[in-house]
Amino acid sequence: MKTAQITLMTAELDHLRRKPREGQRRFSVDDANEMLPLVRRIARDIVSLSASLRHLVYRLKFVSAGGEIEQMFPREIAALRNRIGDLRGRLESCLDELEELGVEPELPALGLFDFPSVVESRPAYLCWMHDEPAVEWWHGDRGGFVDRRPVSETSSRAAKRNAV
């Protein structure tokens, strides 16, 4: 594996985000919180797999940088590459599972996920971090984590109670 490919793999981990689909489900806060036990388990796997993958990619990058080391330990390098491939496959499966549920990975390696919604009659996202007890935050469709606001401060009951 070339250094450029390894660097690309590392960058993918930092920016692993899928684009929203047309006609995607819209969640109320109640819907999102009801689904949270399942999403929490998937999120835990994603965060763990991402950390393991990041570690192995950096390790491969370090070992591959010293060209003669790679020639000295070809089996170990091949095993490392295979393990990276396996972890990537498992990570993609977790992301596919979230996509099927309608949940969008904002920054999955960090455990940040979005539930498409409508807040104050505008497209928005209910925002949840893997260590938070419930879905209690939202941001506009062009915003992100730094733009999060508490759901309790919205004037719209649609995001709080009703799927739109």
Question: Concatenated DSSP letters for 54-69?
Answer: HHHHHHHHHHHHSHHH
Report the C-alpha gap between 51 and 17 in whole angstroms: 16
Mean pLDDT of 31-51: 97
Mean pLDDT of 9-26: 57
User: Hey, what are 117's tokens?
Assistant: 């919604």
Dump the DSSP string for 93-138: HHHHHHHHHT-EEEEGGGTEEEEEEEETTEEEEEEEETTSSS--EE
User: Hey, what are 16's tokens?
Assistant: 């692993």
Exposure of 133 in the CB half-sphere (CA atoms within 13 A): 0
Is the predicted pLDDT of residue 126 greater than 60, yes or no? yes
Is the predicted pLDDT of residue 122 greater than 60, yes or no? yes
Is the predicted pLDDT of residue 5 greater than 60, yes or no? no
Sequence-ordered list of residues with C-beta below 8 angstroms from that of 88, at least 6 positions apart, any chain: 9, 53
Confidence of residue 68 (pLDDT cuts 50, 70, 90): low
pTM given for the model: 0.77
User: Hey, what are 77's tokens?
Assistant: 């390098």
pLDDT digits (tens, 9 = 90+) for 104-121: 999 999 999 999 999 888
- Residue 149, classed as helix, strand or coil, is strand
Mean pLDDT of 111-138: 94
With CA atoms as reference, report the closest residue to 84 among 4, 13, 15: 13
pLDDT digits (tens, 9 = 90+) for 72-106: 677 888 888 999 999 999 999 999 999 999 999 99
Domain that holds residue 52: 3-18+25-161
Q: 14 vs 82, which has greater pLDDT?
A: 82
Q: How many domains does the chain have?
A: 1
Confidence of residue 26 (pLDDT cuts 50, 70, 90): very high
User: Hey, what are 164's tokens?
Assistant: 């739109």
Confidence of residue 42 (pLDDT cuts 50, 70, 90): very high
